[in-house]
A and B are shown apart, each in its own frame.
Chain A
């Protein structure tokens, strides 16, 4: 990586340390304003919140009062507004443009959903209020559960998992519990395709399983011969993403389900890409036993710079008895929440979280689903698939699709079209930043060399896609024409140039320390 030498400070200019540009006095450049850390601008004796005066009650803290200074600077409201608004402007966002991160599903986040989540009846209720005072919240959870079970054709859904990976854990723990209930302690091997998300193997291990990789066939799907060869009486489950991470529907999926069941194992489906088929295909009809649904992908709850997510997990009849607590049940005219394992009807594998799950995401997701309806959800899936195929069709003459044929909701390219150009997938992605686009997912899935995975979602208009394709076309042409520097030096129009990740990893600086302390430490 050439970055290491580029990443070192070359021009020791004073305001650079504050995150500013070297060529202006202030360190800002027009609308791109330099902004120090709050620890460099706030003061511990300043606050942006007014409180009534304390009464001076005698403390009952058992003599455990804090005596030291914490070191938390404060800002008044106008200062805090500027600080965070300035920082926000250094972020790319789906509201600014196409965000083609494959596998991440960056679609529009309707603001109606934000409004619904903030209704006092949902946003300002406590998880441990008496159940009689939160009947509407249980009803909403029950309603969302109904939509999720109907869309997947499954009889059970666990609502509490906090994100996709947590939903995977929920599904795999239910599988482990079911195996234990059958007394099958010898089944510990989990089959995971090499194209899988990293969360799949990491999750399997957290359930006491170990992973056995299944290679992909030349068409980007599970190699059926390899899969069959790996079946045996020590197999606990297969974890398969469908549509898979190459953006392809696993056309042998029904056969895979049959074979894994015949071999005594279970079928965990990673539902990260459910958005491609929602309303058109019900995973329950394919023979799955468990699948998590990323509400923040398929049902558009905002990603918020890395979370929160929500990962309700649906189960087949076979696994339903092992679903975790808590869950809501209809009780006469009202609803009741089952919170304790010994009150449950089945044999729940346990409790995964405090309280009942991501209510704030449930409201947003249900608002999204009701807005679309059965017809709109199907249309959204179709438009997502149409948009991805349009990109594939428009770019296949100049970029290199990883596999032949059409795709589902994401188009996968490899780096063959960059061969001998001196431009890597990373460089190509960084050049997209200069063109005003967020790059696609790079170097994933691992089965393709220099992978570029583009997921436009249904949010993009045709004209928007045309502009995007025109841009990628021109970049591909520039790379082939030898305009290498444009790529290797990119981005030049972003708030920062390429960052030195090696330095960050070799000498981790994870919290701010005052300059004086840094100096002392260095001595």
Chain B
């Protein structure tokens, strides 16, 4: 077997050194009833070529984003990632390293995490950021748990325009922790009234910006209302590229910002692995209640700067049942991809990228709004907007496939049974050409 270096002779010699007759002697603690007499009922080993054939056969059954005029978003976005990013994250020293528990031989990982934390803090307008969470939705859930610890309150108000998967993940994470999460009804094109729902027991208000329908909001009034009642504002950003053009949540008064970093460096990958961003104010109480790993600066025994994982007493491997979270493995490699891509972009590139995204969305929105029967629902947006169609959006999406268009996400897929069946959530990015946009508008006209 190509991955197993021991030869039959090696195995014999090693068994002799150990002082046993056969490999079975090393499995004697297994209860007899549970010992298998032969291999399990699965195929036997395969060559590289055989595996490649099997995978190619399955991959061919999918329509990849690059094969269509592609406008699907709602929490994951198709962006172009520079070739050097994938090359660098496949460096053995990054790809095949473990968590940097031995800092003397992990400075590569630790320094890039420190860079990642700084980039995320600056983008979101926050003071500090952690070394990543699994993804945006779990980061959102963890933020609510943290807000409950910080405020010692047990109610969370979730905007109805928060991505329903994020709301569901948050609800699930809170349901056995005696934290009540109340999701408001969605209001496509505007925003639900969260302010009325805040009271003295509210730990936090969770708002997504741009929201799941694409509309952008000024968070300042919500922040003010939350703070007036002693609650925290958690801002959720699922399209991080938007922060290249838009005011940061920190500037608008957010206390904790969580986000999905997938747009930068990561790629679509059918939903994962992605990279959860988690940033907050630099308040002692906040820091001590943060989930996840933190890289921090220090010096070595010769006085040279170096980085270590720090404030670990918050974490499960030390604090066990009193830890701030059970998270251990995070999304280190995706955080690295994010950092490299962001370093290649720089501020100048990020602003250009964000501008191109916004322009593509504006052009597409105008083109679609010209199709008879189509109505733009979101008056403001970044790179994603919602339109109302004269008929069921899921059916329309399905009929556009044959015309080479993956048109977007029907709102009914995220909000089934909420009367939003004619709404279609559409994203445009720098990857869309004018030809894609023209094709979409033409095809939509044909199927309506």
Contact = CB atoms under 8 A, between A and B. Distances in A.
Task: Say whether chain A's binding surface is mostly helix, strand, loop, or mixed.
Answer: loop
B172 A350 contact: yes
Nearest to B397: A130
Interface string B343-355: 1111111101101
A52 B135 CA distance: 31
B328 A164 contact: yes
Interface string B1-42: 111111100110111011110010111011101111001111
Given A254-B33, A304-B97, A72 B287 contact: no
- The size bracket of the interface on B is 35 or more
A382 B27 CA distance: 9
A462 B316 contact: no
A515 interface: no
B213 interface: no
Contacts of A169: 326
A130 B96 contact: no
Contacts, number: 742
A116 B58 CA distance: 11
A65 B55 contact: no
B72 to A, nearest CB: 4
Interface string A62-74: 1111111111111
Given A254-B34, A309-B329, A505-B311, A208 B105 contact: no
A16 B303 contact: yes
Contacts of A38: 115, 343
Interface in A23-41: 35, 37-39
Contact of B44 (A70, A126, A374): A374
Interface residues of A, number: 220
A519 to B, nearest CB: 16
B180 interface: no
Nearest to A152: B40
A504 to B, nearest CB: 4
B75 A173 contact: no
Interface string A330-363: 0000000001100000000111111111111101
Interface in A215-263: 248-251, 253-254
Given A7-B299, A279-B39, A306 B111 contact: no
A521 to B, nearest CB: 11
Contacts of B303: 8-13, 16, 22
Given A37-B111, A498-B300, A61 B329 contact: no
A109 B95 contact: yes
Contact of A136 (B45, B62, B92, B321): B62
A491 interface: yes
Contact of B30 (A47, A163, A277): A277
B440 interface: no
Given A134-B270, A202-B320, A251-B29, A286 B51 contact: no
A125 B42 contact: no
Given A358-B273, A496-B104, A351 B168 contact: yes
A159 B74 CA distance: 21
Contact of B346 (A19, A73, A143, A354): A73
Interface in B56-103: 56-67, 70, 72, 74-76, 78, 82, 84, 86, 88-103
A47 B89 CA distance: 20
A121 B61 contact: yes
Contacts of B382: 61
A121 B10 contact: no
Which of B43, B60, B401 has the largest count of A CB atoms less than 10 A from its CB?
B43
A417 interface: no
Nearest to B65: A124
A349 B174 CA distance: 12
A164 B62 CA distance: 29
B356 A42 contact: no
A106 interface: yes
Interface stretch (A92-100, A313-321, A474-482): A92-100
B332 interface: yes
B165 A355 contact: yes
B171 A350 contact: yes
21 contacts: A43-B346, A66-B245, A67-B247, A71-B122, A80-B340, A119-B55, A127-B272, A163-B329, A198-B315, A249-B29, A279-B36, A282-B36, A355-B271, A358-B273, A370-B50, A380-B4, A389-B14, A389-B20, A433-B104, A503-B299, A512-B114
